């Protein structure tokens, strides 16, 4: 029997943590979750021992009394696809699968301007902030990519490759950024964003994120730290 332990950071802020968490939860793959908050003594003490990259997410896979880490969101997703072929994390159509792998890799490697200007912040409403020309250019490329997927694979379902796949887990944080920063999407992209927001795993992640109270200054370019009461 395989055991899975996913190490993540704050759900409000950690977009890379969100991806494998949503993937496993939506696909019905059981796992334990270990949340280590950013900028805390727990992070400094635990993360260097838990992840070779010093970053989250990392998935510890236990089998035959041994536990080994897989780190980096895309490596985790591909490893899960290999471990759980019946979970259909990639579609069975090889052309759709290639397309999915390309856009997942692009999300992983690209769109830095968007990520910097509009960091994930699920509980905040920062409409109009972060709309730099570079971030909007990244968003336009993402909208074009989503639109092409919907045109090609709409006969299979409402998501990027039709049914839920790794590609949707990779782009789910972009959908939430659009909400936080008040980005207006054209109709096809808006319908896709609605379908992602309605996924039970995305709903569950967002509910947990909104319950968090930590303020992580590094991920908050637009707000000052809330004042703390004496009591
Ligand atoms: N390429 C990595 C990126 C991971 C990453 O940047 N994680 C952030 C949290 S969302 C992190 O651990 N930041 C803390 C740090 O870099 O010290 C992945 O895809 O998993």
Q: What is the pLDDT of residues 181-203, one digit of tens each?
A: 999 999 999 999 999 999 999 99
| 136 and 191 housed in the same domain | yes
pLDDT band at 227 (very low <50, low <70, confident <90, very high): confident
Residues of the domain holding 152:
91-207
Task: Name the domain boundary from 86, 104, 121.
Answer: 86
Does residue 197 sit within a domain? Answer: yes
Number of structural domains the chain divides into: 2
Q: Which residue CA neighbors atom 10 of ligand 1 most closely?
A: 14
CATH of the domain at 191: 1.20.1050.10
Place of tokens 């590094």: 218
| Ligand 1 atom with the shortest distance to the CA of 71 | 20
Does residue 213 sit within a domain? Answer: no
Task: Name the domain boundary from 86, 109, 135.
Answer: 86
| 149 and 136 housed in the same domain | yes
What is the predicted pLDDT for the residue at 223? 95
CB 165 within 8 Å of CB 103: no
Distance 77 CA to ligand 1 centre (A): 15
| 59 and 143 housed in the same domain | no
What is the predicted pLDDT for the residue at 228? 67
Distance 56 CA to ligand 1 centre (A): 5
Antiparallel, parallel or unpaired: β 32-35 and 3-8:
parallel
Q: Provide residues with CB under 6 Å of ligand 1.
A: 9, 14-17, 54-57, 72-74, 108
Strand ranges for the chain from DSSP E:
3-8, 32-35, 58-63, 66-71
**What is the percentage of the chain residues whose pLDDT exceeds 70?**
98
Q: Which residue CA neighbors atom 18 of ligand 1 most closely?
A: 72
pLDDT band at 69 (very low <50, low <70, confident <90, very high): very high
pTM of the model: 0.97
As a whole number of Å, the CA-based R_g of the chain is: 18
Helices (H) and strands (E) in the chain, counts: 9, 4
Q: Which residue CA neighbors atom 1 of ligand 1 most closely?
A: 72
pLDDT band at 230 (very low <50, low <70, confident <90, very high): very low
| 13 and 103 housed in the same domain | no
CB 18 within 8 Å of CB 11: yes
| 102 and 161 housed in the same domain | yes
Task: Name the domain boundary from 67, 86, 105.
Answer: 86
| 64 and 27 housed in the same domain | yes
**Which of 127, 121, 224 shows the shortest CA–CA distance to 173?**
121
* Mean pLDDT of the 205-213 span: 98
Q: Is the pLDDT of residue 12 over 90?
A: yes
CATH of the domain at 82: 3.40.30.10
Q: Which residue CA neighbors atom 15 of ligand 1 most closely?
A: 55
What the block records as the tokens of 219 is 């991920």
- CA distance linking residue 113 with residue 4, whole number of Å: 33
**What is the percentage of the chain residues whose pLDDT exceeds 90?**
96
| 51 and 154 housed in the same domain | no
Q: What is the pLDDT of residues 162-179, one digit of tens each?
A: 999 999 999 999 999 999
What the block records as the tokens of 42 is 């727990």
| 68 and 117 housed in the same domain | no
* Mean pLDDT of the 19-25 span: 98
């Amino acid at each position: 029997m395989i055991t899975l332990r996913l190490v993540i950071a704050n759900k409000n802020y950690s977009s890379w943590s969100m991806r494998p968490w949503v993937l496993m939860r939506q696909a019905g793959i059981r796992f334990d979750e270990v949340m280590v908050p950013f900028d805390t003594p727990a992070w400094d003490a635990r993360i260097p021992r838990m992840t070779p990259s010093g970053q989250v997410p990392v998935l510890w896979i236990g089998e035959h009394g041994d536990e080994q880490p897989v780190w980096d969101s895309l490596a985790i997703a591909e490893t899960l696809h290999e471990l759980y072929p019946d979970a259909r994390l990639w579609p069975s159509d090889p052309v759709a699968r290639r397309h999915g792998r390309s856009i997942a890799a692009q999300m992983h490697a690209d769109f830095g301007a968007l990520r910097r200007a509009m960091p994930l912040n699920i509980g905040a409403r920062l409409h109009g902030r972060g709309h730099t020309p570079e971030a909007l250019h990244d968003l336009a490329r993402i909208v074009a990519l989503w639109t092409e997927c919907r045109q090609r694979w709409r006969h299979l379902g409402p998501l990027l490759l039709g049914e839920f796949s790794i590609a949707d887990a990779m782009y789910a944080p972009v959908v939430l950024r659009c909400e936080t920063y008040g980005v207006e999407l054209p109709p096809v992209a808006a319908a896709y964003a609605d379908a992602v927001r309605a996924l039970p795993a995305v709903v569950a992640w967002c509910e947990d994120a909104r319950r968090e109270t930590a303020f992580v200054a590094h991920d908050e370019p637009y707000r000052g730290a809330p004042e703390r009461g004496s009591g």
